[in-house]
Structure 1
Amino acid sequence: MISCILVDDEPYAREALAELLAKSPDILILAQVGNAIEAMQAINELKPQLVFLDIQMPRISGMELLAMLDKSTMPRIVFVTAFDEFAIKAFEYHAFDYLLKPIDPDRLEQTLARLRQDLAPKDLGPVTPAELTHLPCFSGNRLKVVPISDVEFIFSDVGGVHVATANGLVHTQMTLKLLEEKTRLIFCHRQYLVAPAAIAEIEVQDGGAEVITRSGARVPVSRRYLKELKQYFGFH
C-alpha cells in the first residue's frame, strides 16, 4: 500500500485526482489539504510516502513548501500544475514526477507504475529557495504565516519549537537545524536561534552571556557560541 496526501487549494481539483487514485487499490489517501501550512502539518504527522503537490497556491507555493521540508525524511513529490513551464521546472526541484492539469488517467498510471518500482528512499538533494521568507506556524487551532523579518528568536524545549516575535510566541514543526539552514538566524545556544537584526545588546556574564532583543526579551548565550556572536558584530 502506498500512502499519499493531496495538496491543492482547488477542492474540485483534489476531488478529481482522488477519484482517479481510487481506481488503484494499492493507493491510500491519508489526507486532502488546501494550503501549504496544512500540508506541512499533515506531512509531519502522517508521514506519507507520496505527496501530490499543486505548484500555484496562495501565500506559500508548492515549490516553497518543498524547500521547508526536511530532506532526510522527504516523501516523494509529484508536482501538479496547469502550466508546462512549471512542469519543466519541477525536475529542477528534484521532484519524483509532474502531472499537467487536467490530469490524464494514462499519464497518472505511468507515474504510479514508476513509483511502485522505486520504493527505496530517494535522495531529493538540495532544493530552492535556499532561504525562507515566511515560517509556517500555529497557535492553538490557528495557522499562522510569520514573516522571517518579525522573528526575534526561536527556541526548543520539551514542548516543541517556539517562535518568538515582538507580539508573542507561536509554534512551528520545523527543526532548529533546518531553520538555521533556511534562514539567517544563528545559534547562540544549543536550544536557541537568534535573529542578528533583533539584537540590541549582548550582556557578557560569568560563563556566558545574554542577548537583549529590541523588544526587551532576554535570550541565553552559551560560552560555546559567545565568541562567534561577538565576532559577527565586529567585537573582539
Structure 2
Amino acid sequence: MRVLIADDEPIARQVLRELLEECPGVEVAGEAASGAETLRQVERLDPDVVLLDIHMPQSDGLAVARRLRPLPLPLVIYVTAYEQHALAAFEAGAVDYLLKPVRLERLRAALEKARRQLEGLRAARASAQAAPQRIAARSGGEIHLIDTRDIIAFRAAEGGVEILATTGRFHAPHSLKEIEERFPPPQFRRIHRAFLINTAHLRSIAPLSSRRYLLRLTGGLEAVVSKRMAGVIREATEW
C-alpha cells in the first residue's frame, strides 16, 4: 500500500513517516505541504492512500478530498488536531479520521480499513473483467455487437431496453431485469426502476437537496437518485 503524507508541518510529516515504518506492507510514496501540492503529488505519484491534514495552505484538506472524490483512488484518511470536522470529513468520503497525536495502533486500524477497501476495489475490477463482454442490439435495421465497456447505461423502453453507449443508441429485446441478471454489480448498478448504469462511466456525484443526488455520466448523461442510492454507489465503487 503506497501512502502519501499531506501536512503543512514538517514535524508532523516526520512523525507520520516514522509511524508508517512500523506498519507492515506500507510504503511512503511521498509528501506534500499544501493542498495544491497534494493534488499535484496525487497525479504524479498515484498513491493508494493519502494521510491528509485539515488545515493546510492553498486549499484545505476538505476541499482536497472533494477534488479527489470522483477518482477511485486514492483513499483518504484524515490526520488532524480538530475533532469538529469529523462529520464533514466522512461526508467527503474519508476512510477514517485520526486525531493528533496519532497512536500507532489507531493508525494501523485505519490503514487496515483502507486495505479492505482496496481489496474490494480490486475484486470489483476483476468481476467486471469476468463479466460478459458483448451484447447484441439493433440500430437502423442492423444488428450490432456492443462492447460492455462502451455501454454507459441501459434504460427501460417499449419492447426491451435502450442501450446508451459511447458508440450510439441501440435497442435490445430484453427486460431490464434480464439485463441486470446478465450484468451484475459492481460494474453495472440499477439506480432505480428504469435505469441501470455502468459505474465505470460515472463521472461525478453531486447533492441536489438533502434527499436527492445528481449522477453525471460519460457523454453528458444525467440521472437523479436518492441519497441512499448515492451512498450505495459510492460504497460499491469506493468513491
Q: TM-score, normalised by structure 1?
A: 0.49
TM-score normalized by structure 2?
A: 0.48
